[in-house]
Amino acid sequence: MVDLGQTVLGVEFQNPILLASGCCGYGEEYAGLIALDELGGLVTKAVTREPRIGNPPPRVSETPAGMINAIGLANVGLERFRREKLPWLRENLRRAYVLVNVAGWTVEDFVHVVRGLDDAEGFLAYELDASCPNVERGAEFATDEALLGQLVRSVRAATQRPIVVKLSPQVPDIGRFAEICETEGADGVSTINTFPGLLIDVERRRPIIGNVTGGISGPAIRPMGVYATWCAARRVRIPVIGIGGISGAADALEYMLAGAPLVQIGTALFVDPEVVCQTLEGLRAYGERHGVHRLADLVGALEA
Amino acid sequence: MEFAAPEIAGQAIPGQFVMIGLGLPGEPGLFLPRPMSIAQAEGERLGLLIRIFGAGSRRLTALEVGERALLLGPLGSFFDLGSATRVLCVAGGVGLAPFLFLPRWAERHAPGNRVHLVYGERTASAVFDPGRIHELAGVEPEIWTEDGAMGRMGRVTDRLDVARVDLVLGCGPVPMLKTLQAQIAGTGVPAQFSVEERMGCGVGTCVGCVVAVEDGGRGWRYERICVEGPVFSAERLRWSI
Ligand SMILES: Cc1cc2nc3c(=O)[nH]c(=O)nc-3n(C[C@H](O)[C@H](O)[C@H](O)COP(=O)(O)OP(=O)(O)OC[C@H]3O[C@@H](n4cnc5c(N)ncnc54)[C@H](O)[C@@H]3O)c2cc1C
Ligand SMILES: Cc1cc2nc3c(=O)[nH]c(=O)nc-3n(C[C@H](O)[C@H](O)[C@H](O)COP(=O)(O)O)c2cc1C
Ligand code: FES
């Protein structure tokens, strides 16, 4: 037997696989297709202070080895999330942990959402989306050292729950941003959010995406995600959650070897929801093949 | 194209769709699965009508006998015939797909219906073989082509008579659906349209596939085509805002 468990953020995750924000709704939508409670956990769609209708369509399209999206943080808002979505997660996820992804435009927006959810049950931690490329000024927090510091400090003061900060790959030195998060009291960082991109329909000479630009995800960004994870993990002691283009066990292992105790699967779910089961099976098989009894031993075990 | 997909075929209702792709890791040009209307469901067999448009549909139509594709479905809402007995189906281009399935399904599940199918293409060369349509759907299509080389010359919406039907169903390009919407407005005849948008997940998680619809007197809102649609009541559709 290979032990897939990981002790992170003060709890024992039954395995390192989480579903990424924006790619699994509020859990419910995938309940018929994925055994959610067999996962390490999931990260909800971003929750903002007020409900948001999001960007005009088209919002998604295929790109080489991946996709582009500009959803524009469409979500039900703090109040409905708490009233309608969280109870379902609390009832249905007993072993898998829930991280609530929080987005905003000002520090105050983030703090408002965190305060509004903090005494509710059904989730473990917050993931602060400091890096959404699809709304005006979205990635500002994760690209401005002072602003990021202020964000983490303010949210830290508002909650005892673990805080994970989701970082943007659009910075020259992501390790520096991870350090700021650590210094200001974050319990972890997650790397990476999507890369900004632009897809053009040359026949019509127009952008394909309604928002003009969008975020690129999927296998195309995996090496950049692994790199960012490796850079961040070398600089901080808090855990780094690896994200970007994971479509199977080998991909997840790259992130783990680069230093991530947990990983998130996003876009690959759209291609095949069974990717989750297959990844878990693949991790077990890898452990057996390599005589690794505790997967946790592989975290950061890259020989370079 | 036909696929052995017993679970999907057994549950499918006209208007619903499947997500079809190659699974992981995917191939160049076909990573995300594509939404396709269910065009036939007979026993274990699921039929799709795929028009070559870009790389994705080109790869899908190149699938060979024995190759595997990943199908997820049946998904989304469907055409609701209610108590209608005289149903007019208006198809533009590959919007024909659900109407290859609907007439026989209606015969089986809501007998006594009379389905009239009007089907238009830009050119005669694009027209799906009328003999095949008859064979698959069990109805004789009324064909329109803009070049006039087959059937009547013009567009499906040119001489529509909605006065003697109880329900109009539409599937095709947005300009066609908009014209149809305008023609029906005020006649009191209910209509349902199947609409398209680019999709990610097909099951409601990514909120990628939205269309603007009337929000019960409170203006409009976006709804997901893959869950609340693809079939919407025509008078609700506001298209993009
Ligand atoms: C509910 C629904 C039912 C559909 N049924 C059919 C059908 O029965 N037969 C058929 O041939 N086509 C159907 N389509 C369109 C189909 O999904 C393809 O997306 C379209 O044929 C584009 O071709 P491609 O994949 O070759 O384009 P590519 O150029 O390979 O596509 C690039 C990207 O554009 C997206 N895209 C481009 N045009 C469309 C479009 N019109 N609708 C949705 N996504 C688009 C693709 O999904 C992909 O993400 C349907 C779409 C929807 C939403
Ligand atoms: C459709 C879509 C919606 C997303 N929404 C969010 C979001 O609300 N908040 C967030 O932090 N990240 C969001 N992301 C980013 C993902 O969580 C993830 O960081 C990124 O897609 C890279 O991982 P992947 O390649 O496995 O998809 C979204 C991604 C996609 C594709
Ligand atoms: S395609 Fe993802 S919500 Fe419809």
Q: What is the pLDDT of residue A136?
A: 62
pLDDT tens by residue, B184-199: 988 999 999 999 999 9
Torsion angle, CA of A102/A44/B214/B117, rounded to 10 degrees? Answer: 150
Q: What is the pLDDT of residue B213?
A: 96
pLDDT tens by residue, A83-117: 999 999 999 999 999 999 999 999 999 999 999 99
Check if B35 contacts A (Cβ < 8 Å).
no
C-alpha to C-alpha distance for A128 and A163, rounded to whole angstroms: 7
> Of all protein residues, whose CA lies closest to atom 13 belonging to ligand 1?
B36
B150 & B55 share domain: no
Q: What is the pLDDT of residue B167?
A: 95
Both tokens assigned to B222: 């976006």
**Contact residues, A window 1-20, toward B, CB-based 8 Å cutoff:** none
Q: What is the pLDDT of residue B217?
A: 80
Give me the residue from B23, B198, B200 closest to A272, CB to CB.
B23
To test the contact with chain B by mutation, choose from A21, A45, A60, A81 the residue with the greatest count of B C-beta atoms within 10 A, namely: A60
Range of the domain at B105: 86-196
Measured between alpha carbons, how far apart are the two ends of chain A, in Å? 29
Known catalytic residues of A are 132
Domain final position from B35, B55, B75: B75
> What b/e string do you get for A292-303 counting C-beta neighbours within 10 Å, with b at 16 or more?
beebbebbbeee
Could you tell me if the CB of A173 is within 6 A of ligand 1?
Answer: no
Domain final position from B75, B110, B140: B75
Chain A residues with CB under 8 Å of B205 CB are 23-25, 29-30, 269
In one letter, which amino acid is B199?
M
Query: Given pLDDT bands bounded at 50, 70 and 90, which one contains residue B164?
Result: confident
Question: For chain A, what are the domain ranges?
Answer: 6-298
Residue B208 Cα to ligand 3 midpoint, Å, equals 5
B10 & B102 share domain: no
**Contact residues, A window 117-156, toward B, CB-based 8 Å cutoff:** none
Q: pLDDT averaged over chain B?
A: 94
B13 & B69 share domain: yes
Q: What is the pLDDT of residue B241?
A: 62
The pairing of strands B114-121 and B142-145 is parallel
Ligand 1 atom nearest to CA at A67: 49
Q: What is the pLDDT of residue A142?
A: 84
B98 & B54 share domain: no
To test the contact with chain B by mutation, choose from A28, A45, A55, A270 the residue with the greatest count of B C-beta atoms within 10 A, namely: A270
Could you tell me if the CB of B198 is within 6 A of ligand 3?
Answer: no
pLDDT tens by residue, B121-147: 999 999 999 999 999 999 999 999 999
C-alpha to C-alpha distance for A213 and A288, rounded to whole angstroms: 44
B179 & B137 share domain: yes
Cβ within 8 Å of residue A143, ≥6 positions away: A131, A168, A170, A171
Q: What is the pLDDT of residue A301?
A: 96
- The average pLDDT across B74-98 equals 95
Asked whether the predicted pLDDT for residue B162 surpasses 90, the reply is no
Q: CB burial class (10 A; 0-12, 13-18, 19+) of residue B217?
A: exposed
C-alpha to C-alpha distance for B118 and B152, rounded to whole angstroms: 11
The answer to whether the peptide bond before residue B230 is cis (omega within 30 degrees of 0) is yes
Ramachandran region of residue B225, left (φ > 0), alpha (ψ -120 to 50) or beta? Answer: alpha
pLDDT tens by residue, A113-166: 999 999 999 999 999 998 866 666 666 888 899 999 999 999 999 999 999 999
Cβ within 8 Å of residue A90, ≥6 positions away: A121, A122, A123
Q: What is the CATH number of the domain that holds B57?
A: 2.40.30.10
ipTM above 0.85, yes or no: yes
Both tokens assigned to B181: 């919407």
Both tokens assigned to B46: 């699921």
B35 & B106 share domain: no
- pLDDT means over runs of 10, chain A (304 residues): 96 98 96 95 97 96 97 96 96 97 94 97 96 67 91 97 96 96 98 96 96 96 98 98 98 98 98 97 97 96 92
C-alpha to C-alpha distance for B46 and B19, rounded to whole angstroms: 12
Q: What is the pLDDT of residue A139?
A: 65
Highest mean pLDDT among A245-249, B80-84, B154-158, B215-219: A245-249
Phi and psi at residue B158, to the nearest 5° = -65, -40
Domain final position from B75, B102, B118: B75
Contact pairs from chain A to chain B, CB under 8 Å: 105
Q: What is the CATH number of the domain that holds B174?
A: 3.40.50.80
Count: domains in chain B: 2
Strand partners of residue B221: B213
Q: What is the pLDDT of residue A304?
A: 84
Q: CATH number of the domain at A6-298, please?
A: 3.20.20.70
